[in-house]
Amino acid sequence: MGKRRLFTWCTVTLLTASMLAGCGGTKNEAEKPAVDKSETKTNNTDTSSATGIDTSEKVELQFYMLGDAPKDLPTIQEEINKLALADLNATVKFNFTTWTDWSQKYKLLLSSGQPIDLIFTADWTEYQSYAKKGAFLPLDELLPKAAPKLNEFVPKDMWEAVKIDKKIYTVPATWKEYVTEGIAYREDLRKKYNLPKPESLETLEQYLDGIRKNEPNMLPLADNQGYHAGAVRQLTTKIVNSSNTVPYGLNIMYDKPRDVTSYWGSPQHLADLKMYKTWADKGYWPKNVLNIKDSGHDVFANGKAAAILGSENPNRYNDSVIKIKSLHPDWELGYFPYPNAKGFAQPVHPIHNGFAIPRTSKNPERALAFYEKLVTDKRYNWLTQYGIEGKNFEVEDGKYYKMLGDAQSNGFPREGMQGWAWRNPQFMLFDKSFDAVLNMFNEFDKIAKPDIFQGFPEDWSPYQAEKAAVEQVEKQYLYPLNVGLVEDVEGGLKLFMEKAKQAGLDKIQEEYTKQWLKYLDDIGQ
């Protein structure tokens, strides 16, 4: 009893200490990877045999995915387990975090020492920082042994792109996808009032003015959250991200990535803000625009607004098209993707979707072997992406996905397990309506350039306090400027810059630039 309690206390204190270290900064991080390496090495020598992997002992793999479980998950799991038991002498338990507090739960799962064999990773789940902190197993040595097929299947440059500190920690998804944004507008109204296609700032303004004049009950713009500020940057510059802006008001252009300047406070910024002011005066958005919580996408897709500038990527735009087709067949939508204005399109970075093996995994080899099956074996892949053929879906015309029943009655809709990471281009089935998106992707392919921004592992621990302060200042002083609520734009911008500098903007920009340049060195740009 005494011993056990002591042990508990030790683990608790140790964990708290490690947590503090994780929050506190970089002090301990230098030592950590060394420990990781030695541990994985002992792991390897324990279980490895000369060729392939040892499957003599039956194991249950814990598989963690974000989001909600589909209704038919138990049947799918049963089917998968039949296959996995025969192939790998393993069964899998699919666990889902739900979308409630997923980021907190994700952190708990990785820090609590619970045995987990496979877990989803993405740039937006902070893959880079978890990998740096040593939450995942390095896969470089495991891959050729446990999953040779997968190792071959994923292109070399993708393996290179997901490396953190020269080690692979996640298996990237290989399907090339574009999440670039664009202007979605009402083609039928544009034709009706003979307005120009909104493909540049001038034509966009003409289009919005025309709508304002002819459709007084309609909102010209649906960007309630002030997304237009980021969207205009996408439309008018060759900015390095594929959506929104570079953080902390920095200016990084794709063609000259080493040239980092500040956009905030620049003459261009002032000119843009003045333009937003005139937009607001013309009534492109309502006065209480900062308080509206409705998503712009819904507002646009329900016909309340005539255009949306931010957040409409090809996938989403297609969503609006389908929705409008069923509700108002007489309407017509148009779309102008920003890549056309920028002259290049960036597919998502390989780290955007992936699966990693946490360090707590008891069977890393079996887990990787199972993941290989999931990606490269059509039976596994279809089961987990589309469900059971004949029950959940059908293949139409040899290549299209067709859901059986509707979204309510079907227990496993398309990609019902959020299986973005193990999409395999060779096996993928699309809904007929998705052809429009695929066509768009094909167009983008012609002007595709690799994404150099998304893989950047920003480490904000040196300026964590300043980051929070600047964000607060941004909300308080810049947002009203963005939506034209401040009469004196020049004075407002000056005030914002003053407050931001007080909050430590200079320090952030300096440190961020330093990290960015180092990253460019690492990837050889």
Q: What residues make contact with another protein under the rule CB under 8 A?
A: 8, 11-12, 15-16, 19, 67-70, 95-96, 98-102, 105, 108, 111-114, 122, 124, 177-179, 227, 243-244, 294-295, 297-299, 302-304, 310-313, 315-316, 319, 327, 348, 352, 407-409, 413-416, 418, 420
Rounded least distance, CB 205 to another protein, Å: 23
**C-beta closer to another protein: residue 23 or 30:** 23
Q: Which is nearer to another protein, 4 or 156 (CB)?
A: 4
**CB closer to another protein, 364 vs 413:** 413
- Residue number, 29 or 415, with CB nearest to another protein: 415
Tell me the C-alpha distance between 61 and 82, whole Å. Answer: 14
**b/e burial code for range 11-45 (CB count within 10 A of at least 16 → b):** eeeeeeeeeebbeeeeeeeeeeeeebeeebeebee
Q: In angstroms, rounded to a whole number, what is the distance separating the alpha carbons of residues 437 and 37?
A: 43
Kindly tell me which of 118 and 486 has the beta carbon lying closer to another protein: 118
Q: Please, what is the minimum distance in Å from the beta carbon of residue 54 to another protein?
A: 27
- Spatial contact of 255 and 342, defined as CB atoms under 8 Å apart: no
Query: Looking at beta carbons only, is 137 or 417 nearer to another protein?
Result: 417
CA 30 to chain CA centroid, nearest Å: 28
Least separation in angstroms between residue 16's CB and another protein is 7
* In the complex, least distance from residue 38 CB atom to another protein, rounded to whole angstroms: 24
Q: How far is the CB of 163 from another protein (least distance, A)?
A: 21
Nearer to another protein, 125 or 151 (CB): 125
Distance in Å, CB of 112 to another protein, minimum: 5
Count of beta carbons in the 10 Å neighbourhood of residue 114: 12
Of 150 and 222, nearer to another protein (C-beta) is 222
Pairing between β-strand 59-65 and β-strand 90-96 as defined by DSSP bridges? parallel
Report which of 304, 283, 293 is spatially closest to residue 484, judged by C-alpha positions: 283
Q: How far is the CB of 361 from another protein (least distance, A)?
A: 15
Q: How far is the CB of 295 from another protein (least distance, A)?
A: 4
- E strand residue ranges, 374-463: 393-396, 400-403, 430-431
Q: Facing residues of 184 across strands?
A: 308, 335
Q: Which is nearer to another protein, 207 or 412 (CB)?
A: 412
Residue found by looking up tokens 């302060």 in the block: 469
CB under 8 Å to 401, separation ≥6 — which residues? 386, 393, 395, 414, 429, 430, 431
CB 378 within 8 A of CB 427: yes
CB-based contact 77:93 (threshold 8 Å): yes
Residues 6+ apart with CB under 8 A from 374: 380, 381, 384, 422
Closer residue to another protein in complex, CB, 427/517 = 427
Counted residue by residue, the chain has a size of 525
Beta strands in 187-340 (DSSP E): 219-221, 250-251, 261-262, 305-308, 333-337
Q: How far is the CB of 118 from another protein (least distance, A)?
A: 15
User: Minimum CB separation from another protein for residue 108, in Å?
Assistant: 5
By beta-carbon proximity to another protein, the closer residue of 370 and 420 is: 420
Q: Which amino acid is at 149?
A: K
Shortest reach from residue 56's CB to another protein, in Å? 27
H/E run at residue 79: helix 73-88
Output the CA angle 464-466-467, nearest 5 degrees. 65
Whichever of 113 and 148 has its CB closer to another protein, that residue is 113
The torsion region of residue 365 among left (phi > 0), alpha (psi -120 to 50) and beta comes to alpha
Judge contact between 97 and 66, C-beta under 8 A: yes
We find the least distance from the C-beta atom of residue 17 to another protein, in angstroms, to be 11
